[in-house]
Structure 1
Amino acid sequence: MKITTKQIAAFVAIADQQSFTRAARQLNITQPSLSGLIRDLEQVVGLTLLDRRARGATLTTAGQDLLPIALRVKDDIETMLSTSNELSARVRGRVRIACSTVIASTQLIPIASRYEARFPGIKVQIMDAVEQSLADLVRLEQVDLAVATEVDPEPRIVQTPIGKDYLMAYVPANHPLAERDQITWKDLENQSLAVLCKGNPIRTLVDRTAGRLGFMLRSDYEVSFGTTALALADRGLALTILPRNAQQANTVHTCLRKPLIQPTVPRRVIMMSLTGKTLSPAAAEFQTFCVKEMAEGFRQDPPEP
């Protein structure tokens, strides 16, 4: 036999009320049921915990020694139930989410701010990271969720679609191609380019597209962040290929964003979570909220191609 929460509650109630009758009334059970709970508890611990008397019940020496432990157990169980209820009701909790620096500053921080205003007891922790590390952060359970660029299916990762934009060419203002309304992929052959590092899903999209067209693009500069590639384009050192949202609204750039065509290449944005892992109520609610909010943003921001 094992000690049950009902047995603990019965023992604490009798110690408090010093009466089987009053304790049974407090617990809203019958006196025979209460007596059975105490009898079973005494059998499990192998000790007599209460002296039954005509006018009530008193703790034995063993009962006095075990009462503080029973009180702690009872308090811990009540705290556990209270915390569980708060987590289920999203009164408290934590959400850990990773994304690129651009997604963090332009979309995720405003969304997290609105979510925390709706659920003040929940803290959204945002980790900005290079795109190629996002899947690993989810796999290693360092974050609950990640907003990322879709490339290939991953068995251990659940990919929830959010929306899509398109790859664009970013051209120095003094470059001959700056006069064009649109730029083709073929136009970029033999141009000096700043590209993202290998393993970055956007770099993978760029390399695969060029490969299907039968040529390789120059990679004079390999960088980890799109902001660095844009800085190189601003300085006239290279062109770059990045998603439409790479130019942040609060940042001034001198390079020009041009639709990249023949072909137009969509960049699909997804929400990553770990296969088989149950998200906390806070994380599950935030995932639904974030996907809806971000998807609406993509619908309101039509692609230029």
Structure 2
Amino acid sequence: MNLSLRQLEAFVAIARWRNLTRAADQIHITQAGLSLMLRDMETQLDCRLFERTTRSVSLTEGGARLLPLAERTLRDFREVSGQLGKLTAEAARTVSVAATPLVAADVLPQVCGELANSHPQLRVVVKDVDRRQIQPLVDSGEVDLGLGILFRPSPTTVRERLLRLPLVCVGARGSLQPLLGARGTLSWAALRKVRLLALPPGNAIQQIVDAQLAPAAPAEDRPTFANLHTVIAMAEAGLGVAVLPAFVRGTCERHAVDVHRIGPPAVSIEFFSIARRGSVLTPAAAPLLAALKARLARFA
């Protein structure tokens, strides 16, 4: 049996009007098409639904039993259809992102605030997670976008480079001044002479920093921290200097630290958004990425 909603709609219209012509007009079909639809229903159900004469149409016992079910089915479908439409509209206005705690706490709030003013209908859902969790969340579809640096190419995701951000040196207020050259530049050679606050050796940022500081070997006893907020706080306390991506500038504004570019050579790190390959991003994603790119450009 393969009754369609259209057939149920035709059946209910005939039952309501008791007239094929009026019923056909209501559901915008020819009378011949309506009669054909009704015959197909009766064939599938193996039951006459109406008694028809040249002047009237009336429900049979079987038709009378079917009518409340048909009306309820159509009513339920319209209700669910309306709810799904609202869900679809809400989904189009929502974008979910995963980012590391520092980006989530010190970059995205300003971006979300700007969007609240420029696109008040949009909703941004932020998950602050460890960097290693970002790609799995994107792959599973739990979030629309992953945001961060140094994402490797993957067959399951598509990368979009938003910006190149320089590495900067962070030190306690006034501590970087003695390291500056005659033109106010801060060289990598100068950083080889000071105590460096480091990220773990396996961290991709730290590996880039250590490569620039070579041939000086990384000190085995240098302070090492997993969290960028901790590194910045330790630098503020005068326990050393740190080399970090420029997006930490927003965080550093709340600490008694100086931030200075390094170079030559100037070393940059790429900031990406990643999305699941083959997925269609919601319309809310484009304004978010544009606002994020504008925010990051202030640190470049």
The two structures have a TM-score, normalised by structure 1, of: 0.80
Match in the other structure for 1:130: 130
Instruction: Determine the C-alpha separation between the residues in 2 that align with 1:251 and 1:26.
Output: 67
Structure 1 residue 95: Cα displacement: 2.2
The 3 A distance-change label for structure 1 pair 204 and 290 is same
Task: Decide which structure has greater strand share.
Answer: 1
**Cα distance in 1 between the residues matched to 2:187 and 2:92:** 51
In the TM superposition, what whole-angstrom CA distance separates every residue of 1:154-194 from its partner, at most 9, and x where no partner exists? 22111122122211111123647655244333433475433
Which consecutive residues of structure 1, in runs of 5 or more, have no partner in the other structure?
Answer: none
SS in 2 for 1:143: coil
Q: 1:232 aligns to what? A: 234
**Worse overlay, 37-46 or 270-279:** 37-46
DSSP-derived class of the 2:158 partner: strand
- What is the identity, as a one-letter code, of the residue corresponding to 1:295? K
Question: 1:112–1:124: 8 Å Cα contact kept in structure 2?
Answer: yes
Classify the secondary structure of the residue corresponding to 1:238. coil
Hey, what's the Cα distance between the residues in 1 that align with 2:93 and 2:69? 29
- In structure 2, the gaps of 5 or more residues are none
2:28 aligned partner: 28
For the structure 1 residues 7 and 97, does the alpha-carbon distance in structure 2 shift closer, same or farther, using more than 3 Å as the test? same
Q: 1:287 aligns to what?
A: 285
Name the amino acid aligned to 1:128: D
Equivalent residues of 1:191, 1:217 under 8 A apart: no
Using the aligned pairs only, state the percent identity: 23
TM score, norm. by length of structure 2? 0.81
Kindly indicate whether the alpha-carbon contact (under 8 Å) linking 2:247 and 2:296 is maintained by their aligned counterparts in 1. no
The equivalent residue for 2:198 is 195
Give distance in 1, aligned partners of 2:24 and 2:35.
9
CA distance in 2, matches of 1:225, 1:4: 59
Aligned to 1:8: 8
1:252 aligns with 2:254: yes
> Which residue in the other structure is 2:159 paired with?
159
- In structure 2, the partner of 1:183 is 186
1:27, CA displacement in angstroms?
0.9
Q: Which residue of 2 aligns with 1:41?
A: 41
Matched-pair contact (CA < 8 Å) for 1:98–1:128: yes
Q: How many angstroms does 1:251 deviate by?
A: 4.8
Shift of residue 72 of structure 1?
A: 4.1
Task: Specify which of 270, 273, 277 is matched with residue 271 of structure 1.
Answer: 273
Displacement over 4 Å in runs of 4+: 79-93, 113-122, 174-179
User: Secondary structure at the residue paired with 2:47?
Assistant: coil
- 1:183/1:6 CA distance change after superposition, 3 Å: same
Q: Which moved more, 1:57-66 or 1:75-84?
A: 75-84
- Secondary structure at the aligned position of 1:168 is classed as strand
CA contact (8 A) 2:236 2:255 kept: yes
Alpha-carbon displacement from aligned partner over 1:122-178 (angstroms, at most 9, x marks no partner): 532111223332112111222111221134212211112212221111112364765
The count of corresponding residues between Structure 1 and Structure 2 is: 295
Identify if the C-alpha distance between structure 1 residues 179 and 10 changes in structure 2 by more than 3 Å, giving closer, same or farther: same
Change (3 A) 1:302 1:140: closer
Residue 34 of structure 1 deviates from its aligned partner by: 0.8
SS in 2 for 1:194: coil
Letter in 2 for 1:277: S
- Conserved? CA contact 2:96–2:125, under 8 Å: yes
**Distance in 2 between the 1:251 and 1:67 partners?**
70
* 1:261 match: secondary structure: coil
